[in-house]
Amino acid sequence: MDRRRFVAGSLLGSLAGVAAASSFNPPLLIDSHVHVWKRDPQFPFAAGAKVPEGDFSVERLLELMAANGVSRTVLIQVIHYKWDNRYVADVLRRYPGKFHAVCRVNPESPTAPDDLSQRVDEGFRGVRLSPSANADGDWIRGPMMPALWKRCAELKVPMTVLAPVTRMPNLVPLIEKNPELTVVIDHMADSPLDQPSQLELLLVLARYPRVFVKISHAWSLSKRPYPYPDAMAQIKRLRDAFGAGRLMWGTDWPVSLKELTYAKAVELYRDHLAWMTERERAEVLSATVQKVWPFGL
């Protein structure tokens, strides 16, 4: 090959590389699970709340989202404020269209259904319940629950449940009485990886087509180094049962900072689901969350 042909060929190869790079479309990323809070007398924390050092404000979150290509985020009311949802309500007002948000109401209060209605009027799109595995979480089986779940269904907003996997059977009667209600299980129900049989308590909920699962907390559950192959094995079982179209990722920032940065949490799901098809990854990264919390993207 003479020098002229070599130079021409090299130029064409470089141009092709530039064209390929410019045509690359990064995946649409919608984070299904983030908390925000800051120390502000206008939005006081609940009495006795154990709040970690530092502020994790929405402004800080927006910077991280922009730096990591995250388009939209679902905010989950943090327990530091307990039932006072005013800080997140303020965020929704100041950044319309950027976020959806899930509130908290006191599940043991007879006014819980009306409290939820008020939060929805303020812009919230769902409620989160957090029954513990102990007796103090038995309210999930109590007399207050049917009315709250029914109101959630009437309002057409999702019911989000943070609970250990051993609580999954307690959800069945409530799900069956509200078949049109969308139910989201947080963090794979924190099903322990060293007790794989316990995941069956969550897998049986796949029979209900309106039940979705967040595959977050891989970092918390795993006994292996990043990118947590043992947690990925559990996610595969969930994919096989629910289908990728009912799974969604989430960083759980800033709680996840105890193990990994926001950037690494995004990378975990963006870059380490290669065992899924391209379509499945698109569902997990954005399409599933848009079924539950539509952003119109």
Please determine, for residue 296, whether its predicted confidence score (pLDDT) is greater than 60. Answer: yes
Q: What is the DSSP pairing of strand 29-34 with strand 159-161? A: unpaired
Q: 129: domain CATH number?
A: 3.20.20.140
CA distance 216 to 238: 12
Mean pLDDT of 164-187: 98
Asked if residue 137 belongs to a domain, the reply is yes
Asked if residue 5 belongs to a domain, the reply is no
User: How high is the mean pLDDT of the chain?
Assistant: 93
Residue 281 tokens read as: 């990854």
Residue 22: per-residue pLDDT: 40
Asked if residue 64 belongs to a domain, the reply is yes
Asked if residue 174 belongs to a domain, the reply is yes
Q: At what angle do helices 112-121 and 145-155 cross, to 10 degrees?
A: 20
Interval 196-239: pLDDT, tens: 999 999 999 999 999 999 999 999 999 999 999 999 999 999 99
Domain containing 52 equals: 27-292
Residue 177: per-residue pLDDT: 98
Q: Which residue has the higher pLDDT, 169 or 24?
A: 169
Residue 24: per-residue pLDDT: 54
Asked if residue 3 belongs to a domain, the reply is no
pTM above 0.85, yes or no: yes
Asked if residue 15 belongs to a domain, the reply is no
- Which residue blocks in the chain are alpha helix, DSSP H? 3-23, 58-68, 86-94, 112-121, 145-155, 168-177, 200-203, 218-221, 229-242, 262-271, 278-282, 288-292
Label residue 224 left, alpha or beta by phi (over 0 means left) and psi (-120 to 50 means alpha): beta
Asked if residue 19 belongs to a domain, the reply is no
Angle at CA of residue 283, ends 66 and 286, nearest 5°: 25
Asked if residue 161 belongs to a domain, the reply is yes
Q: How many domains does the chain have?
A: 1
